[in-house]
Structure 1
Amino acid sequence: MTSAPVSRGHTPLPESQTLHLPRILCLHGGGVTGDVFRAQARSLIKYLPDFRLVFADGPFFCDPGPGIVPVYQDCGPFRRWLRWLPEHPEIDNEAATEEVMYAIETCKREDEGDGPWVGLMGFSQGAKLSSSLLYDQQIRVEKEGKADTDYKFAVLLAGRSPLVSFCEHSKSPACVDAGAISEGFKFDGESPHILKIPTIHVHGLADQGLHLHRKMMNQYHDPKSTTLIEWDGTHRVPIKKTDVEKITTEIYRVAREQGVKV
């Protein structure tokens, strides 16, 4: 593991014009980097000119994820947020949580913008993490009366079950521990942990993990605060205008409903 480098904020506008915009923290998938996710999300960035998107890097090194080679084979070293393979080194839950939070806080602290952090956007493992961080915020407010973050929404691109527990309030058979292997996790009951803060779920209908993405949405998210967007694609970030406009339209709608000034 290592301290994560920082990716700068990105919008279609010149850097000097984005410093005061509301910020969305973007979390890459497993076996990628923040810079690769920025390239994958280039079309989303284009259609979100009123936000500053900031791409963080996960704290742990790993092999490249599925589909990364050969297009991004020279963009390593590749990183992950969580364990999903047995060969990923064992780590206790407290240390895993500290590493993830340190990587995120370092990225946020070193970003040059000063707009409010209003949302999260993640792909694959980053989507699982985004939902889990949002739930951690929610349950801390419920149990402790406050949280260190005030995210208003999350965009979950192909995020699969389950939620990850980042504090004692979410220790449960329904959630995977931060240091555990999440791949193959089984929980078929009714989850007591339901995220009520708005989420936008983007599911590719040709994605082999679609059943796990649907399980994540249905088992851990309140349908009253959930928006579903389905598109005819595999396990990747949409880039076609027709698909991207549907997603960004909903991002603007949800952000405005949550009081974000865009």
Structure 2
Amino acid sequence: MAEIRAPGKPRILCLHGFRTSAAILETQIRKWPESILEKLDLVFLDAPYPSTGKSSVEGIFDPPYYEWLQFQVHQDHTEYQNYEECIAYIEDFMVQNGPFDGLLGFSQGASVCATLPGMQEEGVALTKVPKIKFVIIISGAKAGGAKYSAPKLAANAFAAPIKCPSLHFIGEKDFQKTEGLALIDSFVDPLVIHHPKAHTVPRLDDQSVKIAQNFVEKILNLATT
């Protein structure tokens, strides 16, 4: 049964990081100011696959932990497995619990989110749900960039500039920084929050709150159209 949609609020599907969980991402996001959160209808989804290895958050957050994709590292490149199954799992959830206006993702979840608008535009994914109106990318990486191979289904995800509005979080000490910057260049209408931390969901300082509020105002208008 689909959840009741909060009236007047953009409904956002949130995808957590590698070997974490929906509950962990929700805990991280809830550190943001209520002035931001009160305007959003956030839905958090666990990835389909139980963690196959040690989680970087063990001892910080309780298990269970999940991962969206398994991957194999070949020299300097990473190849993903189970990509099509993962995307089908996300779409099925969106069908049953939507409609959703946009997507939010952290780390591996952000990398998945970033591919979806282009794949939907191409007609190879999310064909059963309304068009994605915006994305929020936190410590994401570009599939098909310098470090990560593009799965076959996502081969053309960034062939054309992504037109939907996007908000990107870039950490100065994040090991994904270079790939996160590459994602910014793939979007037509990006807003960017730079923060001094590493690979994390950051708290928002005064300047970041202003940028986030500008983005929220933009997507509030989109959600009502």
Kindly report the root-mean-square deviation, in angstroms, between the aligned alpha carbons of the 2 structures: 3.5
Q: Counterpart in 2 of 1:261?
A: 224
Q: Counterpart in 2 of 1:242?
A: 206
Q: What is the aligned-residue identity percentage?
A: 22
Q: Counterpart in 2 of 1:83?
A: 70
Q: Counterpart in 2 of 1:61?
A: 50
Q: What SS does the aligned partner of 1:44 have?
A: coil
1:71 aligns with 2:60: yes
**Stretches (4+) displaced over 6 A:** none
- Cα deviation code 1:61-112 (max 9, x no counterpart): 223443x12111x221x111123345xxxx997x631343224523662x4x
- Cα deviation code 1:125-176 (max 9, x no counterpart): 1111111112212222xx99x7633221000011112269xxxxxxxxx961
1:221 aligns with 2:210: no
Aligned residue identity for 1:71: I
Partners of 2:32 and 2:113 in 1: how far apart?
17
1:36 aligns with 2:24: yes
Shift of 1:202: 0.9
Q: Counterpart in 2 of 1:13?
A: none
Asked whether the equivalents of residues 95 and 129 of structure 2 are also in contact (C-alpha less than 8 Å), the reply is: no
Alignment of 1:187-206 (within 5 A): 192-206=159-173
| Matched pairs, number | 211
> What is the TM-score with the length of structure 2 in the denominator?
0.77
Asked whether the equivalents of residues 24 and 118 of structure 1 are also in contact (C-alpha less than 8 Å), the reply is: yes
Distance 1:249 1:163, change over 3 A: farther
Distance 1:126 1:178, change over 3 A: farther
Partners of 1:40 and 1:175 in 2: how far apart?
28
Shift of 1:248: 2.8
Partners of 1:96 and 1:214 in 2: how far apart?
23
Aligned residue identity for 1:200: L
Shift of 1:240: 4.1
Q: Gaps (5+ residues) in structure 2? A: 74-78
